[in-house]
């Protein structure tokens, strides 16, 4: 090639290589110069070619950086503000100040705390002597280049697990404490809860007598509980009735029942009136203190009772005055020879007045003392043996009222009682007394009932005054599972015949369970043992009874 042509070609190649080297200079550290405090290269280092604008870096992969509008009036385009880097939205966005303005206003602000501009995210070089920041990653499209990731939206919570947040208002229906408890029926302003129990029982001694026979019985029991639903005052009704009939062994049958009603009238905040009424009907068994020989069937005993009391609270002092009337009515006894034996001389009415005074030591304990005066009047002035059995009663007691909310509620007391007969030939009946009515819950799903009473019983024999019967009972109910309830009970009685060494020991134990099929029906079963031991002749007996049946409730 001639010299002029060779010289011309060399000149053209060198001229075209200058822009190419300028483009390649962005990956050469010497062409970038030093970074400022904000991490942005200085203007002189970025524009080494006579003030011409440097080429903008575009990543090879699309979508690596958000689309931005380039401001032609700025050498490096708009600078991103803090809100843009953190993802926060602004209602009135303002253009970010340029690098020179930011440095002038912020002074010697640390480079690690300064908000990097948008261009810093687009390109960095290996000349960054401070090293890579913790939240940068290498851009694989350019050797040595790094890219700063924008701050996450929920940065303060990025280390917490992604758990489900609880709703402000839950639509979950809370579970019932007792899903098999009776719902009851609303009748007017009362809630009625009836229960019907029907089943078969096998007993070793159906009559509960020294010469009783074994057999199979049909047993039906109806129970009723009613509670008033009033805003003020209250009324309750509890009753039961049981009918038993032999299906084999003999033609034995009996029926018994009891009903009690209570009405409380709130006169004022610290004064109330309480009225009660009761009725009980039951056959006289061999456990009765008076036994009539040669009867074809058991005579009946009916008891009518009622009381009216007034209670007054004066500060921590408690006062109560209660009058009570109780009438016992015995049916005629039918003997085996067909004759009828009248028992009107056993019918009596007892009227008593009880005055109680107490003082509240704490809301849980209130000690009290009470005195009782009464009169027992027999329907017949003289009995068949010619004795006048009407008597005067005097007694006193002392005890505690307990109120530990659901844990323990009730009262317990002890004292002394004496009945003197009009007929001086009869010795008075006297002795210690006990009384208790407690409801105790030692733990959840377990209820214990403790009852104790002392009863003065009359007699019909010549020269016999009567007897005193002390009875105590403990009954436990345990909800083993939500649909399985277990019960157990023990009763012990001691009868002391006045003026003699004669006595009776009564024992009664029972265990049972009810398995609820649903809220309205369940299968129930129980085993019961009854026993009477006496030092009198022809009174001892025992009986074992097993029952299995169906219980319905509403």
Query: Does position 135 have pLDDT exceeding 60, yes or no?
Result: no
Window from 334-338, 351-355, 362-366 with minimum mean pLDDT: 334-338
What's the pLDDT at 99?
Answer: 39
Nearest to 257 by CA among 225, 288, 221, 281: 281
Q: Which residue has the higher pLDDT, 119 or 512?
A: 512
- 3-state SS assignment for residue 297: coil
pLDDT in tens, 505-549: 999 999 999 999 999 999 999 999 999 999 988 899 999 999 999
Mean pLDDT taken over the chain: 78
Nearest to 456 by CA among 516, 402, 394, 405: 394
Contact 250, 257 (CB under 8 A): no
Question: What's the CA angle centered on 495, arms 489 and 500, to 5 degrees?
Answer: 165
Query: Does position 130 have pLDDT exceeding 70, yes or no?
Result: no
User: In the chain, pLDDT over 90 holds for what percent of residues?
Assistant: 54
* Token code pair at residue 439: 């409801």
Give the C-alpha separation, 238 to 258, whole Å: 8
Give the C-alpha separation, 237 to 261, whole Å: 4
- Beta bridge partners, 131, equal none
CB-based burial, 114-134: b 16+ in 10 Å, e otherwise:
bbbbbbbbbbbbeebeeeebe
Give 481's DSSP letter.
Answer: E
Confidence band, pLDDT 50/70/90 cuts, at residue 168: low
Query: Does position 87 have pLDDT exceeding 50, yes or no?
Result: no
Contacts of 267-272 with CB under 8 Å at 24 or more apart are: 270/312, 270/313, 270/314, 271/310, 271/311, 271/312, 271/313, 272/310, 272/311
Contact 244, 219 (CB under 8 A): yes
Give the C-alpha separation, 116 to 137, whole Å: 15
Cβ atoms within 10 A of the Cβ of 63, count?
7
Window from 49-63, 220-234, 381-395 with minimum mean pLDDT: 49-63
- 3-state SS assignment for residue 18: helix
Give the C-alpha separation, 233 to 217, whole Å: 43
What's the pLDDT at 167?
Answer: 60
- Mean pLDDT, residues 269-276 taken together: 96
Question: CA torsion, points 96, 101, 104, 107, in degrees to nearest 10?
Answer: 20
Contact 292, 341 (CB under 8 A): yes
- Beta bridge partners, 99, equal none
Question: Distance between terminal CA atoms of the chain?
Answer: 121
Nearest to 510 by CA among 525, 490, 532, 533: 490
Give 1's DSSP letter.
Answer: -
- Mean pLDDT, residues 196-210 taken together: 93
Q: Token pair 């209670």 is at which residue?
A: 311
Contact 301, 321 (CB under 8 A): no
- Mean pLDDT, residues 136-144 taken together: 46
Q: Where do the DSSP E strands lie in 386-540?
A: 391-403, 408-421, 429-440, 446-457, 467-481, 484-497, 503-516, 521-534
Query: Does position 469 have pLDDT exceeding 90, yes or no?
Result: yes
Nearest to 460 by CA among 383, 539, 393, 392: 383
CATH among 1.20.120, 2.60.120, 2.40.160, 3.30.1340 for 214-553: 2.40.160
**Domain boundaries along the sequence of the chain:** 23-87+97-152, 214-553
Residues in the chain: 554
- 3-state SS assignment for residue 425: coil
Nearest to 345 by CA among 175, 461, 488: 461
- 3-state SS assignment for residue 8: helix
What's the pLDDT at 249?
Answer: 75
- Mean pLDDT, residues 100-119 taken together: 44
Cβ atoms within 10 A of the Cβ of 251, count?
7
Contact 213, 249 (CB under 8 A): yes
Q: Where do the DSSP E strands lie in 379-445?
A: 391-403, 408-421, 429-440
Confidence band, pLDDT 50/70/90 cuts, at residue 34: very low
Give the C-alpha separation, 453 to 363, whole Å: 26
- Mean pLDDT, residues 127-136 taken together: 44
């Amino acid at each position: 090639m001639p010299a002029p042509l060779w010289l011309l070609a060399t000149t053209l190649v060198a001229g075209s290589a200058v822009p190419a080297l300028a483009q390649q200079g962005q990956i050469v550290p010497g062409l970038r110069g030093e970074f400022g405090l904000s991490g942005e290269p200085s203007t002189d280092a970025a524009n080494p070619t006579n003030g011409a604008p440097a080429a903008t870096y575009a990543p090879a992969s699309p979508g690596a950086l958000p689309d931005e509008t380039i401001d032609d009036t700025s050498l490096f385009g708009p600078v991103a503000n803090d809100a843009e880097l953190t993802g926060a939205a602004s209602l009135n966005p303002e253009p970010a100040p340029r690098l020179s303005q930011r440095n002038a206003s912020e002074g010697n602000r640390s480079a690690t705390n300064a908000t990097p501009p948008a261009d810093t995210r687009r390109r960095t070089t290996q000349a960054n002597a401070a090293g890579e920041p913790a939240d940068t990653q290498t851009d694989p499209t350019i050797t040595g280049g790094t890219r700063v990731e924008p701050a996450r939206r929920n940065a303060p919570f990025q280390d917490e697990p992604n758990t489900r947040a609880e709703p402000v208002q839950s639509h979950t229906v809370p579970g019932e404490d007792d899903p098999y408890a009776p719902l009851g029926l609303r009748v007017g302003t009362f809630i009625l809860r009836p229960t019907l129990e029907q089943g078969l029982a096998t007993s070793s001694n159906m009559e509960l007598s020294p010469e009783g026979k074994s057999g199979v019985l049909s047993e039906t029991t109806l129970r009723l509980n009613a509670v008033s639903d009033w805003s003020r005052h209250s009324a309750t009704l509890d009753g039961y009735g049981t009918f038993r009939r032999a299906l084999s062994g003999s033609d034995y049958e009996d029926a018994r029942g009891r009903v009690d009603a209570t009405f409380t009238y709130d006169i004022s905040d610290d004064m109330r009136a309480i009225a009660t009424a009761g009725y009980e009907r039951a056959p006289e068994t061999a456990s009765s203190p008076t036994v009539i020989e040669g009867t074809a069937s058991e005579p009946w005993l009916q008891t009518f009772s009622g009381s009216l009391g007034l209670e007054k609270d004066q500060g921590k002092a408690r006062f109560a005055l209660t009058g009570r009337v109780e009438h016992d009515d015995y049916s005629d006894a039918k003997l085996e020879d067909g004759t009828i034996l009248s028992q009107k001389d056993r019918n009596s009415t007892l009227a008593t007045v009880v005055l109680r005074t107490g003082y509240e030591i704490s809301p849980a304990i209130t000690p009290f003392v009470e005195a009782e005066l009464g009169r027992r009047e027999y329907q017949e002035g003289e009995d068949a043996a010619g004795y006048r059995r009407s008597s005067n009663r005097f007694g006193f007691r002392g005890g505690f009222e307990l109120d530990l909310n659901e844990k323990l509620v009730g009262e317990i007391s002890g004292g002394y009682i004496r009945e003197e007969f009009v007929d001086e030939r009869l010795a008075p009946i006297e002795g210690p007394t006990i009384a208790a009515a407690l409801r105790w819950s030692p733990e959840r799903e377990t209820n214990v009932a403790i009852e104790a009473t002392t009863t003065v019983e009359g007699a019909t024999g010549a020269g016999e005054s009567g007897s005193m019967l002390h009875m105590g009972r403990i009954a436990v109910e345990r909800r083993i599972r939500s649909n399985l309830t277990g019960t157990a009970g023990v009763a012990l009685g001691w009868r002391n015949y006045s003026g003699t060494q004669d006595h009776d020991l009564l024992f009664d134990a029972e265990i049972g369970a009810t398995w609820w099929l649903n809220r309205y029906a369940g299968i129930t079963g129980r085993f019961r043992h009854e026993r009477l031991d006496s030092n009198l002749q022809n009174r001892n007996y025992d009986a074992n009874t097993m029952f299995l049946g169906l219980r319905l409730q509403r």
